[in-house]
Amino acid sequence: MSAISQAARASRSGAGGQTLTWPRWVAAVIAVAPTILWGAASIGLFAGIWEVLWAVGWADAKLLPPPHIFIGNIADQAKFFNTVNRWQIGAGQGGVPSSAAAVFYTILATTGRVFAGLVIASTLAVTIGVAIRYFRVFGRLTLPTITLLAPVSPIAWLPVAIFLFGIGNGPAVFMVVIALLFHMVLATINQIDNVNRNLINVARTMGASKRQTYMRVIVPAILPQLFVVLRFNLFAAWMVVLVAEATGVGYGLGQVIMLARNTFNPSLVFFTIALIGVLGFLFDFAMRLAQRKLLYWVPQGTAVLRGL
């Protein structure tokens, strides 16, 4: 038995047992420790290679500044995040926000757009996808167009976003929605078509109406896979939100990258990339937690693979 499950068991058996018992948080820490250690090792490995390349003089500090340089002077980088000021967010505390606050608000703005886009896109996609299969005529009328639009790069929608929403949060959120919507509608339909026939037949023999069959069987049955599709599309959401911001429809991390490009500031570029990486990771982590809570019936993790 592994130390982890022993710890978990010890924490579950609780106080009062004769055996050695560990507090719950110790067990929790021990449970996630390997993940954290491997993560640190992985990042450390690549950062280390980079640092070595710099130390031996192969990586030019002006073009490819290694981590200790671009992370080292956070205060220096953070002043560029003041683009936030233009939009009056966080500017209430007397003029220009502090550097840290500026970074925080910029991150908040970008993350908020991604999140809003994900929520809107997945709600719309499931609704449209289900409607396409539920109402025959609606499906016949909309599906060809959706299939046609799905392969169009979301970047192509950028002008439309600006025509429709001007500047600000609107176009950025719109871009995220557009990037996900068509694919997720198609994924929803595909999932509906692949719902286990027997589950549907059980519902039908129990006297379920079409509406009940959809609400009680088909929708819950497709949710787990759609969540996976959503997670896989997270990177697309991040990509378009940065593009939208970079083209000046708002402020945010994309804007900062653009600024870094225009002022030729590689340190700022890598600092922002690091931020985006961490954010993306946290986002995915949060979605996995949400998945565990919302889709409690889906088997978790890679335990089976580990046994190989």
Note the residues at the interface with another protein (CB under 8 A).
196, 198-199, 201-208, 212, 216-217, 220-221, 295-299
Which of 157, 184, 177, 183 has the alpha carbon at shortest distance from 113? Answer: 177
Nearer to another protein, 163 or 297 (CB): 297
Report, in Å, the least distance between residue 201 CB and another protein: 6
Nearer to another protein, 228 or 279 (CB): 228
Nearer to another protein, 33 or 294 (CB): 294
Report, in Å, the least distance between residue 158 CB and another protein: 39
Report, in Å, the least distance between residue 210 CB and another protein: 12
Nearer to another protein, 158 or 218 (CB): 218
DSSP conformation letters of the chain: --HHHHHHHHHHH-TT-SS----HHHHHHHHHHHHHHHHHHHHHHHHHHHHHHHHTT-S-TTTS--HHHHHHTHHHHHGGGGGGGGGTSSTTTTSSPPHHHHHHHHHHHHHHHHHHHHHHHHHHHHHHHHHHHHSHHHHHHHHHHHHHHTTS-GGGGHHHHHHHH-SSHHHHHHHHHHHHHHHHHHHHHHHHHTS-HHHHHHHHHTT--HHHHIIIIIHHHHHHHHHHHHHHTHHHHHHHHHHHIIIIIS-SHHHHHHHHHHTT-HHHHHHHHHHHHHHHHHHHHHHHHHHHHHTTTSPPSSHHHHT-
Nearer to another protein, 72 or 224 (CB): 224
Nearer to another protein, 151 or 299 (CB): 299
Report, in Å, the least distance between residue 53 CB and another protein: 49
Report, in Å, the least distance between residue 8 CB and another protein: 17
| Contact between residue 126 and residue 220 where contact means Cβ atoms under 8 Å apart | no
Report, in Å, the least distance between residue 193 CB and another protein: 17
Report, in Å, the least distance between residue 86 CB and another protein: 47
Nearer to another protein, 80 or 227 (CB): 227
CA dist., res. 8 & res. 26, Å (int): 9
Report, in Å, the least distance between residue 9 CB and another protein: 18
Which of 18, 17, 19, 25 has the alpha carbon at shortest distance from 8? Answer: 25
Nearer to another protein, 5 or 300 (CB): 300
